[in-house]
């Protein structure tokens, strides 16, 4: 079962190929491009290289040239200094404007290599091969690239659609359980935003999802990507509607900042953020509490936390108000008016947010 989505209305056209075994397209493309003399520059990390680097590297074997840069794994790699390492690496190898940057990895590699591709020689062709569930359903689709600054996460980056995204669930085989759970949170987020029966499917298939049944995962990934690409096509540069994808993220970022990065994984923070956003939505829009109860049960069924230590609520509120997604004059908070009906740019009074935080207090 393979699928394909073409984004045509974005600044750069993009094709997403999905399904088990879709990674084999790399070999086809490498063969097709062989006579052009174009080369492939793969950027990956040590963990991914060990898990599936050979498979991808072999697939590109027919290309006129290929080279692999292996970065350390983890968020600490997503820096300006790492970008400089990638840029100098490309330059030293004489990368040309038409050569390909291939981002092989999870969100960190995808964001970093995407930023590098978007800026090296003012933009090179980019292929994204996401190897984590989170990257498959979220970061590899939509064309946001980024690196972190000392001052905060994702503060520097670009909007740059990859020419090709290959979303192959077979690459998830070796993904550690906590990483897998992180990705599931984005699936839950999509289910809340999407006006379809995705939430119900998740609820009935939670056991299959938890044991990573390949067909189930494949279908979930496809549905999330279809939903996300529709939103991105309408609003590539996040002038408005695309902001709905930040559901749960204002609180998540604030939790990460106030607890210290790494204490809570980003996925788990977003899961908690979703519950807070739903509680806020109850106050602001009269969303039935049932939506939050269902979400809470679903998160538990997927082995995800629904409570956290809240030691510094004032720090947390400060952090939420500083969240970078904020534009001048709005708090940029995303709520649900009803299941599948998000509202963005909601101006949430601090006391409402403070009260809502209580629903996740341990």
Instruction: Give contact residues for a second copy (rule: CB under 8 A).
Output: 11, 36-38, 80, 83-84, 87-88, 91-92, 94, 96-99, 115, 118-123, 144-146, 149-152, 155-159, 237-238, 322, 324, 326-329
The encoded tokens of residue 351 equal 């006391």
Which residue, 268, 263, 261, is CA-closest to 185? 268
31 vs 64, beta carbon nearer a second copy: 64
Residue 223 or 325 having the CB closest to a second copy: 325
Catalytic residue annotation: 122, 144, 186, 228, 238, 242, 246, 249, 253, 266
Six-digit token pair at 31? 């063969």
What is the Cα–Cα distance from 362 to 296, expressed in whole angstroms? 14
Question: What are the CA-CA distances from residue 339 to residues 74, 249, 277, 291, 342 (Å)?
Answer: 34, 18, 12, 7, 8
Tokens of residue 254, six digits:
């604030």
Order of strands across the sheet with 126-130? 3-7, 14-18, 164-167, 126-130, 100-105, 39-45, 65-71
Contacts of 95 (CB under 8 A, 6+ apart): 39, 41, 101, 120, 121, 124
Between 3 and 159, CB nearer to a second copy: 159
Pairwise CA distance, residues 24 & 116, whole Å? 25
122 or 211: CB nearest a second copy: 122
Distance in angstroms (rounded) separating the CA atoms of residues 188 and 315? 27
The nearer residue to a second copy, 37 or 72, going by C-beta atoms, is 37
Q: Decide the pairing of beta strands 126-130 and 164-167.
A: parallel
Determine the distance from the C-alpha atom of residue 201 to the mean position of all C-alpha atoms in its chain, rounded to a whole number: 21
Q: How far is the CB of 262 from a second copy (least distance, A)?
A: 20
> Which residue, 45 or 238, is less far from a second copy as judged by CB?
238
- The Cα–Cα gap between 251 and 254 comes to 5
The pair of structure tokens assigned to 90 is 């490309």
CB 332 within 8 A of CB 326: yes
Q: Least CB distance from residue 283 to a second copy, whole Å?
A: 26
Q: Provide the minimum distance between the beta carbon of 90 and a second copy in the complex, in angstroms, as a whole number.
A: 8
Task: Tell how strand 39-45 and strand 126-130 pair up.
Answer: unpaired
As measured in angstroms, the least distance from the Cβ of 319 to a second copy is: 13
Minimum CB separation of residue 34 from a second copy in Å reads 13
Q: How far is the CB of 327 from a second copy (least distance, A)?
A: 5
């Amino acid at each position: 079962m393979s699928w394909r989505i073409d984004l045509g209305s974005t600044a750069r056209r993009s094709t997403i190929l999905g399904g088990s075994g879709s990674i084999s397209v790399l070999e086809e493309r490498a063969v097709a491009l062989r006579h052009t003399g174009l080369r492939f520059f793969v950027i990956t990390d040590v963990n991914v290289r060990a898990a599936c680097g050979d498979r991808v590297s072999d697939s590109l074997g027919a290309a006129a040239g290929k080279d692999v840069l292996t970065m350390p794994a983890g968020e600490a790699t997503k820096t300006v200094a790492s970008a400089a390492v990638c840029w100098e690496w490309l330059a030293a190898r004489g990368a040309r404007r038409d050569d390909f940057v291939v981002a092989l990895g999870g969100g960190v590699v995808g964001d970093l290599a995407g930023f590098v591709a978007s800026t090296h020689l003012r933009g090179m062709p980019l292929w994204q091969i996401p190897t984590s569930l989170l990257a498959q359903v979220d970061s590899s689709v939509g064309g946001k690239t980024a690196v972190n600054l000392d001052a905060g996460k994702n503060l520097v980056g670009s909007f740059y659609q990859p020419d090709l995204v290959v979303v192959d669930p077979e690459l998830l085989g070796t993904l550690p359980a906590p990483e897998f759970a992180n990705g599931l949170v984005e699936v839950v987020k999509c289910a809340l935003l999407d006006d379809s029966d995705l939430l119900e499917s998740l609820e009935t298939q939670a056991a299959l999802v938890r044991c990573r049944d390949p067909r189930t995962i494949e279908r979930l990934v496809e549905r999330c990507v279809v939903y996300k690409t529709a939103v991105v096509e309408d609003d590539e540069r996040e002038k408005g509607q695309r902001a709905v994808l930040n559901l749960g993220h204002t609180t998540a970022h604030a939790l990460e900042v106030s607890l210290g990065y790494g204490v809570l994984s980003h996925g788990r923070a977003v899961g908690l953020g979703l519950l807070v956003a739903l509680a806020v939505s109850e106050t602001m829009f009269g969303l039935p509490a049932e939506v939050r109860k269902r979400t809470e049960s679903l998160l538990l069924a997927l082995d995800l936390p629904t409570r956290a230590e809240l030691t510094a609520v004032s720090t947390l509120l400060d952090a939420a108000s500083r969240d970078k997604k904020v534009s001048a004059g709005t708090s940029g908070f995303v709520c649900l008016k009803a299941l599948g009906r998000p509202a963005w740019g909601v101006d949430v009074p601090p006391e409402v947010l403070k009260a809502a935080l209580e629903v996740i207090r341990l």
